[in-house]
Amino acid sequence: MTQTPSAFSRRALLGAFAATTIAAAPTFTKAAGFLRGSGDIRRLRLYSARTGERIDMIYWVDGKYIKDAVQEVNHFMRDWRTNDVIQMDLRNVDIMAAAHNLMDISEPYLLLSGYRSPKTNAMLRSRSRGVAKNSLHMKGQAADLRLSSRSVGQIARAAAACNGGGVGKYSGSNFVHMDCGPVRTWGG
């Protein structure tokens, strides 16, 4: 059977979760069947220097997302400039959690950018060549993250091992971009 790139990346993401202390499945319809009854959880740890907010929560248990926890993640990852909130793509949240687990750390990610409204993206684009016109941030499918205990290279390698989307290294600005778009890497 021939695998499509998206099927391969989902399977690789499953492998990344399985290799961690907290095993979990990727976001697709048959995922619950792989781990049914095994007591699996997914956890997300984030803080924002912009808002002063922190979250450390389990957002998925035994094959099901926890509605209230997902709503809190959506609010946390909002565009802090406009206060706009959208439904974040849970595939990207899963990639963030899987990469965090692979690094075997308890330090929360510093969220630099989650959702960006079109207005915010246009403003940032006018200030920097590095902001995409059709950024996945505007679809709730990307996050820019930093850890003080890990290098950009270490974070990027963990995210790339998930094989679930794009991973950009921004060493000069000390952050890693993770998204659930096409699998690709860039930066230095």
Residue 64 pLDDT greater than 50, yes or no: yes
For the ranges 25-34, 44-53, 54-63, the lowest mean pLDDT is seen at 25-34
User: Residue 188: its pLDDT value, please?
Assistant: 80
For the ranges 22-26, 36-40, 110-114, 143-147, the lowest mean pLDDT is seen at 22-26
The H-assigned helical ranges of the chain are 5-18, 31-35, 67-76, 90-102, 118-127, 152-162
Largest Cα–Cα distance in the chain? 50
User: Residue 9: its pLDDT value, please?
Assistant: 52
Higher pLDDT, 121 or 80: 80
Nearest by Cα to 97 from 137, 41, 52, 47: 41
% of the chain residues with pLDDT over 90? 68
Output Rg (C-alpha) for the chain, integer angstroms. Answer: 16
User: Residue 149: its pLDDT value, please?
Assistant: 97
User: Residue 128: its pLDDT value, please?
Assistant: 79
The residue assigned the tokens 């989307």 is: 165
Say whether 160 sits in a helix, a strand or coil. Answer: helix
User: Residue 124: its pLDDT value, please?
Assistant: 82
**What is the distance between the alpha carbons of residues 164 and 25, in angstroms, rounded to a whole number?**
12
> What's the rounded mean pLDDT across residues 52-66?
95
**What is the distance between the alpha carbons of residues 26 and 11, in angstroms, rounded to a whole number?**
8
Residue 168 pLDDT greater than 80, yes or no: yes
Pick left, alpha or beta for residue 61 (phi over 0 → left; psi -120 to 50 → alpha; otherwise beta): beta
CB 163 within 8 A of CB 12: yes
Residue 55 pLDDT greater than 90, yes or no: yes
Domains of the chain, each with CATH number or no CATH: 5-187 (3.30.1380.10)
> What's the rounded mean pLDDT across residues 91-114?
96
> What's the rounded mean pLDDT across residues 91-119?
95
**What is the distance between the alpha carbons of residues 128 and 109, in angstroms, rounded to a whole number?**
23
Residue 122 pLDDT grade (very low, low, confident, very high; cuts 50, 70, 90): confident
Q: Is the pTM of this model over 0.85?
A: no
